Chains A and B, each alone.
Chain A
């Protein structure tokens, strides 16, 4: 995900300082990959340079001073443009699994075993996500569902390929 756009979106709710932004980001989007402080400050400095955020005072505290940032009009426009632009659908045409199946067939190994091992691994991950969903809140459920639907698509491909192995073996052997 574009971190810059995510931070801009969070700033639309009001000015924040870097630490506060990191916390908000991690809570909403960073369950598995929290932002590093360095990333927050380098992103903010880029947004500042591009005029998408502006400094909005300094918060005094016990520790070092904390600079607050606010989104600018140009920043709001940028967020709007980002939200309105579709993500490029992945073509998924470079596929390691397909290569493994073909290489198994070419070398006289069992392509069924390749598919079975993969299905088992996929289902193992799907079980973990399903358990996590059961214990999680709605945000957690939606994140897990996104992963589950994608893994399920892979599994459907594995099944379909298993059903077509004889034909594929004949074509590969030509």
Chain B
């Protein structure tokens, strides 16, 4: 091993047990280290890093109340309080990596399982510092940034065939991928794989496939990596991205959910699950994921004020539409909103959204007078302060609906459509309040999904067609065209093979819904009548 010295390095040691801090301190002093700072909590660790920089941080995983070691690392890296030059070593009382693994998004430079001895600590530190020194010129080049130099240095290290080669190969592979240098990355990973089936190299090759447009092959390879090693979290993220790009939100949701089974403490994956589940119309899963995300957010730098609002919006919507009936959800929302208000500096927009949501909750609770008062007050503020924000405006519409003032809500909506006529992004959001989308992007999307469904219908692939229409219906539940297509596909299937009871019910419900939406002057009225006759004719035959 190269000659490295620990003597002049600056150390920071964090543990909530004074006993352990002094033990580690004694070990470090014995190694001749002079510059040591001891802190009792995650908060103190972060505060120390805000003031000074350190070469090595030794932190226990368990730091008592407040952030744990993993959350501290997440925050330090996220806020750029430490660079790659600072070594972060996580010490864990629990057997090795499993606890640590259960939460990792940011990997520490090393793990140490308790009990640790002075000799063990020194050995590990010497190794880590030797690696850091070998990579230091690379870090300097990357910080400059001088990528050409970094690649040259890493290439030398990679082929040196010494104990720093593997680390260099990993970094080099990432760099090639970032630069789109696919051929070079492929050669590098291929070389690494000749020796052993390394997960990171296999995933690298799968990513290259994907970047070359072979999306399905890439997904198969990622799947295979996960079959061989279900604990390899980066492969779940890559696969979820792949499925997202291919427009397979159901599989994407399943993949994110699998990653969370392995590592439930990842707040970013919980938020992703919430978003994709909501898009899939799976409201119970979305709500559950938001709950986890809010809980994890308590000590995470990835927590946002908007998280509580998103949870609240979804939960209130679910309560209003009867998709959720548990009454305690209401209390939960109130608590989440209050917490967000305490913890974050809410701007006027978020304060107003909160106020409207509170009004809707009062309405749900049957306290219509209170709801009216809350909503009027918020409305007054919108007008007085001249707030123009589509998210607030959507809340205004929903609040009127919650008070049972459908006509007033519709009037406001028509006004908003005029106000935002040239703002496609805002129109996309307003689409969800309308029977049919007005934004170009959503119109195109609905048209495309509809076309796909009609193609499938024409090939008598009724189940696939129904899937298509179902996707569109999730987003635009009262879109007459989609509903009618659905009815038509159900009738087709019924003629071919008969319908199971739940689809029979779906058919009746859809016809009932359409009946409530179209008057005799509606352009689709004739089609509706014809389909209804066909459906009932079938029923009687």
Bound together? no
Residues of A within 8 A of B (CB): none
Residues of B within 8 A of A (CB): none
